[in-house]
Chain A
Amino acid sequence: MKKLTILLFAATALAAGCKKFTENINTNPNQPTVVTPNVLLSASLNSSAANLALDFQNTARWMGYWSRSGSYIEDVPTETYDIQPSYADGSWQSLYAVLTQYKGVEAAAGSDPFYSGVAKIMEALHFSTLVDGFNNVPYSQAFNLNKYPNPKYDDAATVYAALVQQCDSAVYYFQKAIVYYGTAPSTVVSTDNTYDIVYGRAALALSATQRMDYWIKFANTVKLKLLMTARGSSASAFSASSITTELAKVTATGQGYIGSDYAGGGIAYDVAANESASVNPGYGTANAAQQNPFFGSFYVPSGTPNNNLAYYRANTYYVNYGNNFSDFRFTDDYLINLGGAPYVTGNYDGDPNAVSNSLSSQLGQSTVPTTIGPLHSSAQDEFLMSDFESLFWQAEAASLGYNVGTLTSGKLADIGTEQSFVYVDDTGSGSASQDAADAETNFIAGTAGTIVDISTSTPTLRAIMTEKWSALNSINWEQAYTDYRRTGYPVPDGTNFGFSHAQNRVTHSSKDALGNVQSVNLPYRYLYPQSEINTNAGNIPAGTSAYTKIFWDNREQ
């Protein structure tokens, strides 16, 4: 028995030793658990770029830019509009994931206001995309897992109004940053500059103050986008007077909008002022993950294509528009077939008789890198907001009588179009001024007819939106889809965008922007995603279908 007692003592001593043995080896040797805000910001902005480049690509088909090749099997939900909750789930999740990244930037920002400013404005941009796709979404209770494991859904108009305020606070932080950089250590200034992969890029060579000026322009433009998008809403926050008040705040900042320093008068263009908000951390061919994400979804780094390039073809809808209205950007967006230029063949999306690859045009040009078209190289910038998109936002606001500066809506749309031509390097001259001149000769002054003639000082909304739609081809399809839903435009040839040629499409009748009844319509929105049904079912608004309108959608039923 004595021995047993001794043993028990020994065991107790061992137990005390046990703790030491097991502690102190649980520190993660593989990954950091604390990081600085700069590395979070660069990753967040790069995610934003991927998000804009890859999400909601279905709308590039819905908006008549791309079609499925006849060599591939039908994509039933996209082509027949029979969408399910899982349909846009991936895009929902990637949007919330990137928003979470910016929340992390905000949390880590510390005393450096620049990081808070970027986070605020990027949140506003991505949340607007969410609302545009899903209407009510979790906002006020989002990003707080411990407190709100099941975040409630906020009213879409309320979210939008909050996003407008978020643009103001972004401007506030950027203004603060200008002051902060005045006294901050030079290492802080240079680190922030390096990790600002939007405006801090060496190619732009901006001073800290200039960088902040550009960010303020971007914030102002996002605010304009929010106000213009929501103007169809009946919410008081988006009444004409509220919009006027909010735009007055923009004017008060002094920086204006992206591209708004374009000089007026004559056929002027300002090709040097590339103010587009675009991401480029150093895209290139070093690795598949280091390619521009849009380009990288079509090519491997060595420049050989992957299956996506074979899967997506030119859409006959856009090709016909280009031919009919002499908008030769379609020869930049798509490959001119060997049959003789300009000759581009596409398919109508979902067409049961769609032709195969060797008989239809691919996206972009036959060899990469190229300067022509939206798909040109591994190293190309990824737009968060292109200058031409900004100019069309300003044109829309100006045409509605809002004060966005000195230029007329016609002038704004005109230079927006020119900038688009410059971007796609129409005719491949490599000269920006030549491209801008092409815009005038081939297009604006061409056989454009009533829709596209924006050389007059007061173009119709139809003309502006059609121009914008054309400019956004293969660049911002999701915005084109939103523009279509909120304005009903473009309707370039009198037919509605129920233009998938798939059989057995889901039918939903409504009137198009010209007042004609259409029996087949694009979905008005996405369904709440399956992941939310699985995890947050209690909060999902009831009774939504693919034809429930987003809060700003006031089209006639």
Chain B
Amino acid sequence: MKKLLLVSLCFLMLSITQVFAQNRTVTGTVTSKDDGTPIPGVSVKIKGTANGVATNSAGKYSLSVPSGAVLEFVSIGFTTVDVPVKGSTVINISLATASNQLGEVVVTGALGQKLQERSLGYATAQIDSKQLNQAAVTDISTGLQGKVSGLQVNLTNNGIDPTTRIVLQGNRSITGNNEALLVVDGVPIDDVNYITTINPEDVASVNILKGGLAAAVYGSKAANGVLIITTKKGSKGKPSITVSNTTEVQSVSYLPALQTGFGGYGGEGGSFVNADGTVNAVPYENESYGPAYNGEKILMSLSPIYNSSGAVSGYDTLYRNYSPIKNNRLDFFNNGITNQFNVSYDIGSDNGTLHVGFQDVDVSDVIPFDHARRDNIRIGGTENYGKFTVEYNASYNQNNVSTYGASYNQTSGGFSGDLFYFELLNTPADIPLTKTTLQSTTGPVVYDPSDLNGQYSNVNSYYNAYSGNPYWALEDSRENRDTYTFQGNINLSWKATSWLTFSDRISIVQQTENYDYYHQGITFAPWAVSDPEHAGNIPSALVSIYPATYFDTYMEQLLNNDFIAQFDKKISNDFKISGLVGANMQQSYQTNISLQGNELQFPGDYNVSSTLGIPNYGTDLFKERDDAIYEEATLGFKNWLFLHGTNRDEWNSVLNPAHDHYEYPSGDLSFVFTDAISALKDNNVLSYGKLTAGVAEVANINLGNGTNPYGAYSLVNPYNVANGFPFGSIGGYSLSGLSLNPNIEPEKTIDKEVGLELGFLKDRIHFTANYAHSDSRNQSLTASVSTATGYSEELTNAGLVTNDVLEFDLNTTVLKSRNWQWNLGLNFTHFANKVVELAPGQNELELPGTSDIYAVVGKPYPVIETEDFVRAPNGKVIVDPTTGMPSVSSSLTTYGTTNPTKIFGINSALTYKSFSFSFVLDYRGGNEIFNSTEATEAFTGISAQSAENGRQRFIFPNSVVLQNGQYVNNTSVAVVNGNGGQGGSFWAGVYGSALGSIYVDNAEFLKLREANLTYTIPTSALASALPFIKKASIALIGRNLLMFRPKSNDSIDPEFSDAGSGNAIGNTSVAETPPTRFYGATLSVSF
């Protein structure tokens, strides 16, 4: 207390000095430290007095000041700066964005309200444009990774068309949607994937309403929190144009650990087996269970020699060395190039502002031939007409993605072949995968596997008898997805009285997508069909393949209208009430047409109308409407106690009209105790302190799925056209295996939250802690039921999932001086969730979308369940006393959760003069991953593990055998066959079987997500040389530069997931290509 008094005394002394000083005129410009643009409306005040002016639209001010006075520059959203006048008459100052001016920060809350941070009784976070774009992300969601607590963004697949999954405060729903709601400029968009159609450079800020409490007023679609994106609307001041270009190189970080010691053999008999039982390499095998590499010459490919009458008289052969090629699979991948070009134009006056942004992103992927291009233009602005204000926004986004399709091997028509990555991984290490020179019987030959017309690389000659040339799946089988999205909204406001504003916000989002998937036809040459190597090759099995096409077009239209009356009134000196009453109407509409022709007549003509027979076809239409009225009010007492409540009444068309109305109430309290308790006031050590608590009930209508986006028509079991029907004039219908429920109700989540927010040392240290508990009952479970009931699944209201989420954020300004500034942010989240109950009588539920991922009663959600070895009571693996082979249990074993339970992020931004360096580190752990790709690798003998014992017989480690009813340690019985191939072999037979436990790995990782080194050319330097340039900077950037994983996980990026944005995270397959890193440079110039 004494110390506090002393400090106050100092301030008092300071003010006294000022009074006696002499006046003079000081002028200057106030600019933003971030981008150097002038800031209008900054209050420039002589400290301790009421004297002051505001900066004009050019950020300039002029003020008569007594010498020795201190000027105080105050602007909302920026750090207040005090500058002693001393002798100078020109004081130019740049203000830093206020990151820690706690309590005064204005955040965008639900429905676009500008709210004082201090009044909030729930967890939110804000990320501004600079934080978002520091690594020149092309997708907003990846720019959020690691930056705030409670938010988990998973990049589940990083191909040319990346998929992300965005979850806030944990998974509440077992089979329903757990992803956040997207709100763009106040307009809810009920599909977070639309985030990819927004140019990150157009984003002014992203506000994250973490839980149901913050979002209750948005109703059923916001049960999982909200990402509020506010786009740029321009700013007052002179017109400014910013041009920037980012070029990044993308390269594969690593491939799974694969063996390079043994070549092709798959269990062939005959001449491939020697008298002593050893085997010879099989030149055409895709399994790598052959002899150790020895460098000898081995057949590569056959090419027929024709005699004068056109008959095949022999084969010209190409040879390869039977030795591993270094990095052959890694070299298959390209270095991808991402080029991002941005132009933005901002202008504004007191009457309005305008922002125009354009972005072109061109991506060549690491996967050869994969390419994407996105163009986006956005116009946003405001217009003021006295009491009327208009805000508007329109953007058009065009995205053209071309990616690989499936191969032709193992097909039974259509598009059911393997993916190139499968073919690539399972190519023995001695097979050249890129252009090289090999010896043939006629001399040296340039062998280029990517040349599908090549003499030795065409489909007939390709070395592999059982698997296609991976380049075929890249070149002759393509998926093209063209998406066109328009988003527009307009917000009209009328300030009826000083305390009451009416506004109407209308928006449309419309997306059209054309998806075209085709593959070439093949007619294998007669010589290849005759199978000259007696391999049972693909040509002999398939003879020919027709070209095929699948075409799908869909249109989605989302309409939204909010009518809001907003009030803000001081009731007395102590009491203030603010809030709103509103009504919302939403309509979602989607049509979908698909066509498939599996037997096209002409190569290169991928129109379904040229198919033989009857094409497959389908059309679908889905419509959903949702109506709501809502009320929200905050009662403030003395600016330190805020009672906030919301209520929403909602009517949704997908529910039974008998009970389609739901209410979502919430209430919370915010208590700024540093203001309330006089002893804590104006304390420089603890400068700010706030306690919050709240409770909300939100409902989540979770009837939608991949084919029915809104869950419409989910009350009555429909009949589907039965497979193959109609046969001529004979129709046929059948029910699906899913039993619908006419009385289905929304899921109900009760969210409870308490929070603490503290600011120390004039808010240089800002700490928040938040604890949220949610109970999600009455889930809309698609529960598996015994097929003897007549159905395989049932839609039911059952189950309970609890989530406990602890979030900590610590943001500090470690260093702050004229030349130095270092901001360091740490965030930590701990998730603990549990499936308390499922449908009655059900103990576990396999999640749709992938295999081996379950919800299990009493366990976290979700968990891995898979087959383990048969084990003795002491946990050791039981092996057969004669063969030494372990066996696979017929029941499933439960492993850990696939959802990270601990997420830790570090954000650092260090500025020294014109240089700044920032990075983001992201740790996730406490979870496991099921690397099912490894089973494929073991099956074909390419995994590193399968070569650990040198393909010799070995005693299965830590095994036991049953002897006289006792399990005794096995010290003598080696596995009967330590190789792969045929006949009870260990690696193909056991590790390549249903056994899954050996592929469950610790999924923890630490990633250097982003790093950025920027040099901003000093304004002074520009002013003399290039005066028309306001600002210029050059930056080196990188993304996903480093990743650290436990040694046991030598497979793929543990963030990846086969389920995409679905719930069943934690299982990977060959559909996820290797992780990549990006590095490049950005040049940015503002005029």
Contact = CB atoms under 8 A, between A and B. Distances in A.
Interface of A: 3-4, 7-8, 11, 14-15, 17-19, 21-23, 25-33, 35, 39-40, 42-44, 46-47, 50, 69-74, 76, 80, 82, 84-86, 92-93, 96-97, 99-101, 103-104, 137-138, 141-145, 148-151, 194-195, 197, 281-283, 285-290, 297, 300-302, 304-310, 352-359, 502-504, 527, 531-538
Interface string B565-603: 101000000000000010101000000000000110000
B545 A142 contact: no
B309 interface: no
Contact of A290 (B536, B724, B982): B724
B976 interface: yes
B840 A18 contact: no
Interface stretch (B113-121, B242-250, B438-446, B880-888): B880-888
B789 A304 contact: no
A35 B733 contact: yes
B787 A96 contact: yes
A71 B684 CA distance: 79
Given A46-B724, A288-B414, A73 B988 contact: yes
16 contacts: A18-B651, A26-B713, A28-B713, A71-B536, A72-B536, A93-B787, A101-B734, A195-B730, A197-B730, A281-B730, A300-B412, A301-B612, A304-B544, A353-B270, A503-B976, A533-B891
Interface in B613-672: 613-616, 619-629, 631, 649, 651-654, 657, 660
Contact of B466 (A25, A71, A142, A531): A71
Nearest to A539: B786
Contact of A33 (B534, B621, B652, B719): B719
A352 B887 contact: no
Contacts of A137: 788
B585 A21 contact: yes
Contacts of B883: 504
Contact of B719 (A23, A31, A46): A31
A138 B885 contact: no
A29 B621 CA distance: 7
B976 to A, nearest CB: 7
B982 A14 contact: no
Contacts of A143: 788-790
B267 A535 contact: no
A295 B988 CA distance: 31
Contacts of B622: 30
A3 B569 CA distance: 13
Residue in A86, A103, A288 whose Cβ sees the most chain B Cβ within 10 Å? A288
B620 A142 contact: no
Contact of B718 (A19, A33, A100, A282): A33
B734 A43 contact: yes
A31 B720 contact: yes
Given A101-B734, A301-B612, A356-B268, A46 B722 contact: yes
Given A32-B718, A74-B267, A306-B542, 18 more contacts: A14-B627, A19-B627, A22-B652, A23-B657, A27-B713, A29-B713, A30-B713, A42-B725, A43-B734, A74-B982, A145-B785, A150-B786, A151-B786, A194-B729, A300-B599, A357-B534, A503-B976, A533-B891
Contact of A356 (B500, B536, B623, B976): B536
Nearest to B625: A22
A76 B891 CA distance: 17
B526 interface: no
Given A21-B585, A30-B718, A32-B733, A287 B614 contact: yes
A358 B530 contact: yes
Contacts of A288: 413-414, 598
Contact of A30 (B612, B621, B731, B735): B621
Contacts of A282: 727-728, 730
Contacts of A22: 625-627, 651-653, 660
B788 A536 contact: yes
A281 B988 contact: no
A14 B729 CA distance: 50
B266 interface: yes
B922 interface: no
Chain B interface, >50% SS class = loop
Contacts of A80: 984
A307 B467 CA distance: 12
B844 interface: yes
Contact of B500 (A3, A141, A283, A301): A3
B268 A70 contact: yes
A42 B733 CA distance: 8
Nearest to A283: B727
Interface string B693-712: 00000000000000000001
Contacts of B880: 504
Nearest to A536: B786
Interface in B964-979: 976
Nearest to B657: A23
Given A23-B653, A33-B718, A93-B787, A504 B984 contact: yes
B126 interface: no
Interface string B488-521: 0000000010001000000000000000000000
B475 interface: no
Residue in B616, B737, B786, B891 whose Cβ sees the most chain A Cβ within 10 Å? B786
Contacts of A300: 412-413, 546, 598-599
Interface string B738-758: 010000000000000000000
A533 B854 CA distance: 14
Nearest to B787: A96
A138 B786 contact: yes
A39 B713 contact: no
A453 to B, nearest CB: 38
B543 A307 contact: no
A256 B565 CA distance: 83
A305 B786 contact: no
B1024 interface: no
B994 A84 contact: yes
Given A26-B712, A358-B540, A289 B724 contact: yes
B542 A290 contact: no
Contacts of A503: 976, 983-984
B546 to A, nearest CB: 6
A355 B846 CA distance: 40
Interface in B802-835: none
B791 interface: yes
Contact of B788 (A4, A151, A286): A151
Nearest to B785: A535
Contacts of A33: 716-719
Residue in B537, B544, B789, B939 whose Cβ sees the most chain A Cβ within 10 Å? B789
Nearest to B497: A3
Contact of A21 (B536, B625, B994): B625
A307 B716 CA distance: 40
B791 A8 contact: no
B841 A149 contact: yes
Ranked 6 nearest A-B pairs via Cβ: A71-B536, A352-B983, A310-B541, A357-B536, A43-B732, A43-B722
Nearest to B592: A30
A359 B535 CA distance: 9
B501 to A, nearest CB: 12
B410 interface: yes
A35 B791 CA distance: 18
A308 B785 contact: no
Nearest to A101: B734
B529 to A, nearest CB: 10
A198 B269 CA distance: 47
Given A33-B719, A145-B789, A151-B789, A25 B653 contact: yes
B653 A534 contact: no
Contacts of B735: 100-101, 104
Interface in B857-892: 867, 880, 883, 885, 887-888, 890-891
Given A22-B626, A46-B724, A73-B267, A31 B794 contact: no
Given A26-B654, A504-B976, A40 B540 contact: no
